Structures are given as C-alpha cells and as structure tokens.
Amino acid sequence: MLTHRSEQLRKILESARAHIPENEFCGIGVVLYLIYDGLPVLPLCSYQEFQKGSSLAEQLAQASLFSNPCHDGFHLISDEFQLTHTNQYLAPPLPSNTSVYSRSKETCGARYMSAQIGSLLPMVSYTGILSDKEGVVIFEDGIEIK
C-alpha cells in the first residue's frame, strides 16, 4: 500500500528521470534514511558537490548523469527529503533467509537487490531505484511497494 512518503519518493524519481537526457540515463538508486549513523555505505567518489537552489529531483539527475564520472551508486536522502550524500556503495548485510529476496523473474540486477535488502535496515524508511528495465521501484521492509 502506498503511503504519502513513498509516493513522494516515487514522484521525485520520476521527475529526476525527466531531467536526464536519454543518452545520459544509466539509472538511479536512493536511500531515504531516518538515521545516517550505522548505514552500511562507502563513498564511491570523493566529489560530493550539490547544486544549491535546485530541486531534489534535479540534484539526483545531475548526480546520475552517465557523463558524470561519479554517476554510480546510491544517493542518500534524509528523512526531511534533503540530499546528503551522493554516489555511495550500499552494502547491507544479507538476511538469513535469502530465498525470500529473489524475484519471480529469472534475473535481477545488483542495484535492485541492494535496494530490496537495504530497505530492511532499521534506519531506512525506503529505498528506491529507477531503471529503464524496471521503471521506478520503491521498497519498504524488503517488499516492493506497488
């Protein structure tokens, strides 16, 4: 069931996609977190400059452009919907029953699986991905919100 916050995150990701030219699109991963301390993340790039005065969707789009040398990884969004960190490697611990987190399809990508398992972390409200294959996908507690 969609909540206001998950729907807000979905709309932000859809808006970010509208700001990325087709030849620059390579996907987006986000973590909406309650508490930063303890998140299993590492920066993929030391460059962490945000566009001041831009919307969150525009900031996410800029951080995700294929031509941006630091386009990969997850972007971290505080509970107040502020971009705090870009291009982070998200490495959530594997749950004990990993068969629960496989898809009904034959394959899924690493970003999808990291987002799904990352949404199980107690300091995370939601994770989301945006891809050409999946479109916008939002996870809460390991479950894809339709």
pLDDT tens digit string along 6-39?
Answer: 999 999 999 999 998 888 888 899 999 999 999 9
Residue 135 to residues 44, 62, 85, Cα–Cα distance (Å): 24, 18, 23
Stated as kind and residue range, the H or E segment containing 89 is strand 83-90
pLDDT tens digit string along 91-142?
Answer: 999 888 766 555 545 667 889 999 999 999 999 999 999 998 889 999 999 9
pLDDT band at 1 (very low <50, low <70, confident <90, very high): very low
Q: Which fold has domain 4-145?
A: YojJ-like (1 (3.40.1700)
